Amino acid sequence: MGKGDKRTKRGKIFSGSFGKKRPKNKKIVKQVKEEANPTEKSE
């Protein structure tokens, strides 16, 4: 689990790739997290 491991954030930074652990656009990540965890409960 270091620079050589492409599944980790550090490995992705080292290899220059993007994915679930290291997304390209931070705005999209915020939006996705808000949609996944809504504050209002629909009952």
pLDDT of residue 32: 64
Residue spans of the domains in the chain: they are 1-43
Cβ proximity of 3 and 16 under 8 Å: no
Over residues 1-27, the pLDDT tens digits come to: 778 787 788 888 888 888 777 778 766
pTM over 0.85: no
Reading the block at residue 23, the tokens are: 């997304």
pLDDT of residue 25: 78
pLDDT-derived band at 39, boundaries 50, 70, 90:
low
Among residues 17, 20, 12, 22, the alpha carbon closest in space to that of 36 is found at 20
Over residues 24-37, the pLDDT tens digits come to: 876 666 666 666 66
In DSSP notation, 18-34 reads -SSSS-S-HHHHHHHHH
Secondary structure (3-state) at 9: helix
